[in-house]
């Protein structure tokens, strides 16, 4: 709620200002509307009615002068005035019709009065024209009679017009008190709102002052002075305030914590400075020891290099012997593999030849069956030929009706003849195939016998290669054992060499790190000294 106090206070002021503006706008709008009605509506109606009255009044006088005067020029002048006044009346009437009647801007009372005015006009106009006509004709007595008849019409005409004028005047007068009252009410409302605005403003100012005092916790000038001292590093002043959760309370707490922390930092900086000096001394001693260790390691490394060179020479000789054993074993193994492969392939060839012999025999049997089928086809062809011959005979007997069947029978006969010829050709081919198959069977049987002899020779060769392989394998195992022992020794020497090299590198790296640590310790000493120098800015 405290955080929104200023917002609420100034919000109330702005709301009151808005109310003042809104009330002023509403009242001014009402006054403007009322004055507009007086000036642009009622006054205009009244002006048109006054024009009516002036025209009617002046025409009555001019008509009287027409009757009284006997001078023709004067009479003509009066008649001209009457015409001009009629036009003036007609213009005012047209304006009334256009601006108010046609726009339905007249109420029932106004329309009723205007209706009476128009009716009176309709009665008076013919009488006026007739009076002038009689006067011009020299009938003064008749003209006087018409004049007397028109007198009450003019009287009523002016009466009705004056009634319309008085009605507009009455309405204007009735609006004036309303406008005056509205102005008075608006004036009072604005004064009341202004007073309320001043009171609320004073209250908001007082409450804002209290709010700021409670929030800051002290006079703003004093708080600013305390902050100024704090920004200059002067922490000697102990700040106090009775306002809880105020800015001054937080500043006082900050000042106290800064004093405590700065004292701790200064103490730590002194300790770091002393420790950095001790570290520098220790690192110097350690660097000397590591340098001696590095020299010894380099001497051991040279000795190991010479031993490793001798072992490398022995390793090369053992490796060459092992390689020769590998070559002998590999060659014997390759010969053995090739012989095994030859045995396998000869066995496969033998199996294939035997399988081919079986297939050829089956083929021989199948050719016999095909020959029988060909004989059967030849018999069927002969029978079909006889049937076609019989069908042709029957078709000849049928005469014209059997002609189509005779054609079919002839085609069947031709087909039977071709089938018989094909079966004869097939039988001839089968005989040749059987002869070839018989020759093939004899050849395959000879091949099987030769393949068995080759297989026996290859198996004997394979046995001899097994003996050679076993001898080579024993030699390889002996050479491999010797090479393995030598490899182990060489590996051990290489590991020792690597360890010594790593030790030398570690000693060198350690020496570099020690030198780097010396630099870092110097930087640490300098940093601690900088901290102490910077702490001189603060006064605690």
Cα distances (angstroms) measured from residue 94 to each of 11, 50, 405: 57, 14, 121
Whether residues 205 and 266 fall in one domain: no
Q: What pairs with residue 539 in β-bridges?
A: 234
The sign of the CA dihedral 359, 365, 368, 372 is negative
Strands of 83-148 (E only): list them. none
Establish if 229 belongs to a structural domain. Answer: no
pLDDT at residue 166 above 90? yes
Position 374 in a domain = yes
Judgement on whether residues 357 and 491 belong to the same structural domain of the protein: yes
Residues 311-333 have pLDDT tens digits of: 677 667 667 766 776 786 787 67
Average model confidence (pLDDT) across the chain:
78
Check whether 40 has a pLDDT greater than 70.
no
Distance CA 3, CA 513 (A): 59
The b/e string for 155-172 (b: 16+ C-beta within 10 A; e otherwise) is ebbbebbeebbebbeebb
Separation CA 325–CA 431 (nearest Å):
64
> For 265-293, how does the pLDDT look when each residue is reduced to its tens digit (9 = 90+)?
777 867 777 876 776 777 677 677 667 76
> Reduced to 3 states, what is the DSSP secondary structure of residue 234?
strand
Residue 350 maps to a domain: yes
Mean pLDDT of 530-534: 72
Confidence of residue 35 (pLDDT cuts 50, 70, 90): very low
Contact 480, 325 (CB under 8 A): yes
Query: Which among 182, 216, 250 is the end of a domain?
Result: 216
Mean pLDDT of 231-258: 70
Strand runs (DSSP E) across 187-251, as ranges?
none
Residues 191 and 332 in one domain: no
Residues in contact with 200: Cβ distance below 8 Å, sequence separation at least 6, in sequence order: 12, 13, 16
Structure confidence at residue 38 as a pLDDT band (50, 70, 90)? very low
Average pLDDT of the segment spanning 95-120? 93
Range 43-63 average pLDDT: 94
Give the mean model confidence (pLDDT) for residues 282-308: 70
pLDDT of residue 37: 45
* Nearest alpha-carbon partner for 142 in 132, 152, 151, 153: 132
Give the mean model confidence (pLDDT) for residues 211-234.
Answer: 70
Asked, for residue 302, whether it belongs to a domain, the answer is yes
Q: For residues 282 and 424, state if they share a domain.
A: yes
Hey, which residues does 234 pair with through a beta bridge? 539
Confidence check: pLDDT of 57 > 80 = yes
Whether the CB-CB separation of 160 and 120 falls below 8 Å is answered with yes
More confident: 260 or 393: 393
Asked whether residue 307 carries a pLDDT value surpassing 60, the answer given is yes
Which pLDDT value is given to residue 161? Answer: 96
pLDDT, average across residues 121-150: 93
Instruction: Kindly indicate the confidence band of residue 462, based on its pLDDT and cuts at 50, 70 and 90.
Output: confident
The yes-or-no verdict on residue 246 having pLDDT over 60 is: yes
Q: pLDDT of 373-429, one tens digit each?
A: 777 777 877 788 787 778 778 778 877 777 776 777 788 778 878 877 877 887 788
In-domain check, residue 228: no
pLDDT grade for 439, boundaries at 50, 70 and 90 = confident
Count Cβ atoms below 10 Å from residue 119 Cβ, excluding itself.
13
Tell me, yes or no, whether 51 and 150 share the same domain.
Answer: yes
Residue 241 phi/psi, 5-degree rounding, is -155, 150
Q: Are residues 179 and 269 in the same domain?
A: no
For the segment 147-164, the average pLDDT, to the nearest whole number, is 95
Q: What is the mean pLDDT of residues 456-480?
A: 73
User: Which residues lie below 8 Å from residue 418, measured CB to CB, with a gap of 6+?
Assistant: none
- The band of 179, judged by pLDDT with boundaries at 50, 70 and 90, is low
Q: What is residue 257's predicted lDDT score, i.e. its pLDDT?
A: 75
| Residue 388 · residue 409 · CB < 8 Å | yes
Domain of 351 in residue numbering reads as 259-535
Judged on CB neighbours under 10 Å (0-12, 13-18, 19+), 383 is exposed
Q: Is residue 332 situated within a structural domain?
A: yes
Higher local confidence (pLDDT), 39 or 157: 157
Please tell me whether residues 200 and 303 are part of one structural domain. no
The CA–CA distances, whole Å, from 157 to 75, 181, 318 equal 24, 37, 157
- Could you report the per-residue pLDDT of 62-93, keeping only the tens digit for each? 999 999 998 989 999 999 999 999 999 999 99
- Indicate the number of domains in the chain: 2
pLDDT confidence of residue 479:
66
In a domain, 338, yes or no: yes
CA angle at residue 446 from 443 to 448, to 5 degrees? 110
- Point out the domain boundary residue: 181, 200, 216: 216
Check whether residue 47 and residue 144 sit in a common domain: yes
Quick one: 50 and 171 in the same domain? yes
Q: Can you state the angle between helices 43-68 and 72-96, rounded to 10 degrees?
A: 160
Instruction: Name the strand (E) or helix (H) holding 84.
Output: helix 72-96
Task: Give the pLDDT of residue 540.
Answer: 60
* DSSP assignments along 103-115, one per residue: TT-S-HHHHHHHH
Residue 39 belongs to some domain of the structure: yes
Q: Identify whether residues 139 and 267 lie together within a single domain.
A: no
Domain with residue 401: its CATH number is 1.10.287.950
164 and 43, same structural domain? yes
Q: What percent of the chain has pLDDT over 90?
A: 22
Is the domain of 408 the same as that of 488? yes
Residue where a domain terminates, one of 216, 250, 267: 216
């Amino acid at each position: 709620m405290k955080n929104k106090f200023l917002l609420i206070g100034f919000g109330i002021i702005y709301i009151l200002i808005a109310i003042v503006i809104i009330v002023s706008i509403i009242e001014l709008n009402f006054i403007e509307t009322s004055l507009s009605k007086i000036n642009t509506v009622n006054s205009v109606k009244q002006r048109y009615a006054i024009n009516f009255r002036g025209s009617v009044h002046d025409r009555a006088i001019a008509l009287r002068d027409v009757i009284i005067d006997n001078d023709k020029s004067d009479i003509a002048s009066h008649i001209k005035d009457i015409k001009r006044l009629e036009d003036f009346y007609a213009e005012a009437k047209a304006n009334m019709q256009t601006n108010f009647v046609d726009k339905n801007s007249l109420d029932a009372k106004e329309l009723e009065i205007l209706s009476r005015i128009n009716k009176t006009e309709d009665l008076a106009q013919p009488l006026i024209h007739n009076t002038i006509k009689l006067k011009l004709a020299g009938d003064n007595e008749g003209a006087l009679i018409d004049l007397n008849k028109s007198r009450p019409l003019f009287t009523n005409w002016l009466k009705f017009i004056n009634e319309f004028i008085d009605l507009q005047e009455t309405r204007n007068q009735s609006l004036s008190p309303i406008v005056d009252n509205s102005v008075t009410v608006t004036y009072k409302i604005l004064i009341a709102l202004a007073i309320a605005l001043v009171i609320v403003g004073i209250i908001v100012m007082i409450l804002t002052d209290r709010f700021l005092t409670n929030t800051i916790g002290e006079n703003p000038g004093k708080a600013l002075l305390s902050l100024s001292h704090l920004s200059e590093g002067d922490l000697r002043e102990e700040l106090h305030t009775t306002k809880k959760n105020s800015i001054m309370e937080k500043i006082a707490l900050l000042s106290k914590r800064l004093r405590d922390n700065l004292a701790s930092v200064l103490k730590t900086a002194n300790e770091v400075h002393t420790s950095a000096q001790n570290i520098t001394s220790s690192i110097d001693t350690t660097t000397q020891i590591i340098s001696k260790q590095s020299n010894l390691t380099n001497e051991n490394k040279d000795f190991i290099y010479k031993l490793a060179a001798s072992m490398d020479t022995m390793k090369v000789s053992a490796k060459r012997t092992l390689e020769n054993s590998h070559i002998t074993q590999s060659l014997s193994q390759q010969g053995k593999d090739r012989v095994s492969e030859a045995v396998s392939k000869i066995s496969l060839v033998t199996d294939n030849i035997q399988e081919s012999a079986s297939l050829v025999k089956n083929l021989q049997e199948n050719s016999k069956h095909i020959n029988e089928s060909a004989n059967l086809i030849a018999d069927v062809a002969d029978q079909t030929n006889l049937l076609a011959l019989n069908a042709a005979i029957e078709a000849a007997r049928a005469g014209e009706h059997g002609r189509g069947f005779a054609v079919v029978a002839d085609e069947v006969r031709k087909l039977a003849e071709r089938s018989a010829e094909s079966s004869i050709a097939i039988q001839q081919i089968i005989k040749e195939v059987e002869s070839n198959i018989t020759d093939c069977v004899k050849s395959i049987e000879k091949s099987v016998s030769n393949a068995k002899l080759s297989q026996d020779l290859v198996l004997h060769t394979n046995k001899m290669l097994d003996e050679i392989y076993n001898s080579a394998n024993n030699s390889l195992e002996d050479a491999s054992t010797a090479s393995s022992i030598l490899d182990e020794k060489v590996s051990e020497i290489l590991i020792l060499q690597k360890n010594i090299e790593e030790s030398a590198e570690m000693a060198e790296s350690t020496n570099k790190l020690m030198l780097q640590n010396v630099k870092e310790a110097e930087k640490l000493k300098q940093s601690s000294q900088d901290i102490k120098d910077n702490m001189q800015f603060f006064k605690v």
